[in-house]
């Protein structure tokens, strides 16, 4: 497929719209299962020929570095969520929930394979290096990322493995996995990367595959919202659990979404909003909480500080 959209003819905007529509009218677990049957795609069908040539072409170091950080973060993240999902299946009280999550495990594995192909065929990392990339991801991504993917997520999964009947823990786990990680962190990165590549008209194979990844994620997020909605309906105490779980994670999340200092001058020059990602997180979480049936305020992120010397430079220009 060489068209610059997914072979299912959807753009990232359409995928995001699917989530927004789902939040208005929550699908059932079986709706989401049948959606999965209809929305199959294959990593092996993607054509990375043009992408590879474009990656090998001259590219400023800073841009290369920034893109690599994004790929590393997503690749390591897909591995982490693949490795931690199975205890959620056993802990789900209903068969239709377990049936859906089984499809999600296959999706997450497919996302790992997608990035594996991208790293080997386009970025030119061989299989051995791919394993090492994961160790490297922790260097690239910083402490909040490591806390979420390498501490909190495995801790919750281990807890669920030991206590599959602990519904409080399952509610927290779904809040972390489907709402915070998939519904805020991943969705922001997906939308930003896909919009940028489309604007620049680059990486057609990646655009196609990553849009397919995002479409898979839209089902996962809606599953999480549906599950938490049902839990809150069953007992209001879960609403407090969810809010108490999210709140302490917010300051770190907003900081994680800020650009690193070296990218700030370029972003200001091209008129980009330094706070695009933290604002996206806040509004994504707000909309999901509302759909779950929770009245709670998610604070707006504070503006990203501009370093003093940069302020002086901007004032001089
Ligand atoms: Fe995924
Ligand atoms: Fe997912």
Query: What are the pLDDT digits (tens) for 263-309?
Result: 888 888 888 899 999 999 999 999 999 999 998 889 999 999 887 87
| Inter-residue contact 6 to 41 (CB < 8 Å) | yes
pLDDT, tens digit, for every residue of 1-29?
334 444 466 788 888 888 888 888 999 99
| CA distances (Å), origin 220, targets 19, 129, 186, 227, 280 | 10, 30, 12, 11, 18
Instruction: Read off the pTM.
Output: 0.92
**Ligand nearest, relative to CA of residue 223:** 2
The greatest distance separating any two alpha carbons of the chain, rounded to the nearest whole angstrom, comes to 64
Question: If you measure from the C-alpha of residue 303 to the centroid of ligand 1, how many angstroms do you get, rounded to a whole number?
Answer: 30
Residue 1: the pLDDT is 39
| pLDDT for position 145 | 93
Question: If you average pLDDT over residues 110-128, what whole number do you get?
Answer: 84
Give the distance (Å) from ligand 1 centre to CA of residue 15.
Answer: 14
Tokens of 189: 């990165």
Cα 249 to its chain centre, rounded Å, is: 16
Confidence of residue 129 (pLDDT cuts 50, 70, 90): low
pLDDT at residue 167, rounded to an integer: 98
Q: Could you tell me the domains of the chain? A: 12-316 (1.10.620.20)
pLDDT the model gives residue 3 = 40
The pLDDT assigned to 136 comes to 60
Range scoring the smallest mean pLDDT among 113-122, 159-168, 248-257: 113-122
Average pLDDT over residues 111-126: 88
Token representation of residue 24: 């208005």
- Whether the predicted pLDDT of 140 surpasses 70: no
**46 vs 263: which has the higher pLDDT:** 46
Give the pLDDT band of residue 63 (cuts 50, 70, 90).
confident
Rounded CA-CA distance 285/249 in Å is 12
d(CA 193, CA 176) in angstroms, rounded, equals 23
State both tokens at 280. Answer: 């996206």
**Which bound ligand lies closest to the C-alpha atom of 210?**
1
Q: Report the separation in Å between the CA atom of 238 and the middle of ligand 1, taken as the mean of its atom positions.
A: 26
What's the CA-to-centroid distance between 133 and ligand 2, angstroms?
20
Please compute the mean of the pLDDT values over residues 114-128 and round it to a whole number.
82
Q: Report, in angstroms and rounded to the nearest whole number, the Rg of the chain calculated over CA atoms.
A: 20
Cα 54 to ligand 2 centre (Å) = 28
Rounded to the nearest angstrom, the distance between the alpha carbon of 169 and the centre of ligand 1 is 22
* Ligand 1 center–CA 12 separation, angstroms: 15
Q: How far is the CA of 227 from the centre of ligand 2 (A)?
A: 15
79 CA from centroid of ligand 1 (Å): 8
For the chain, give the percent of residues with pLDDT over 70: 91
Q: For ligand 1, a single-atom ion, which residues have Cβ within 5 Å?
A: 78, 108, 111
Cα(190)–Cα(211) distance, rounded to whole angstroms? 8
Average model confidence (pLDDT) across the chain: 90
CA distance linking residue 278 with residue 274, whole number of Å: 9
Q: Give the pLDDT confidence score for residue 241 in this predicted structure.
A: 96
How far, in Å, is the centroid of ligand 1 from the Cα of 297? 28
Residue 249 has pLDDT above 50, yes or no: yes
- The stretch 148-152 carries a mean pLDDT of 95
């Amino acid at each position: 497929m060489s068209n610059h959209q997914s072979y299912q003819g959807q753009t990232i905007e359409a995928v995001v719209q699917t989530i927004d529509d789902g939040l208005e009218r929550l699908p059932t677990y079986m709706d989401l299962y049948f959606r999965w049957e209809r929305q199959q795609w294959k990593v092996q069908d993607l054509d990375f020929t043009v992408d590879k040539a474009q990656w090998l072409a001259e590219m400023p170091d800073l841009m290369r570095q920034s893109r690599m950080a994004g790929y590393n973060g997503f690749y390591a993240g897909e591995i982490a969520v693949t490795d931690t999902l199975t205890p959620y299946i056993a802990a789900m009280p209903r068969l239709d929930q377990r049936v859906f999550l089984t499809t999600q495990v296959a999706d997450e594995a497919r996302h790992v394979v997608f990035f594996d192909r991208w790293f080997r065929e386009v970025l030119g990392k061989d299989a051995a290096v791919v394993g090492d990339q994961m160790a490297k991801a922790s260097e690239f991504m910083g402490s909040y990322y490591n806390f979420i993917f390498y501490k909190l997520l495995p801790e919750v999964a281990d807890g669920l493995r030991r206590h599959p009947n602990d519904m409080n823990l399952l509610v927290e786990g779904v809040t972390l996995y489907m709402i915070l990680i998939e519904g805020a962190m991943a969705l922001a990165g997906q939308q930003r990367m896909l919009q940028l590549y489309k604007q620049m008209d680059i990486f057609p194979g990646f655009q196609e595959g990553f849009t397919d990844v995002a479409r898979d994620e839209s089902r996962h997020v809606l599953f999480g919202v549906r599950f938490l909605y049902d839990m809150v309906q069953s007992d209001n105490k879960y609403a407090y659990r969810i809010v108490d779980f999210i709140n302490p994670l917010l300051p770190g999340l907003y900081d994680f979404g800020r650009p690193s200092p070296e990218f700030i001058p370029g972003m200001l020059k091209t008129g980009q909003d330094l706070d695009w990602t933290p604002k996206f997180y806040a509004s994504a979480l707000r909309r999901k909480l509302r759909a779950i049936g929770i009245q709670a305020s998610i604070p707006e992120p504070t503006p990203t500080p501009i370093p003093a010397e940069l302020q002086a430079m901007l004032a001089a220009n």
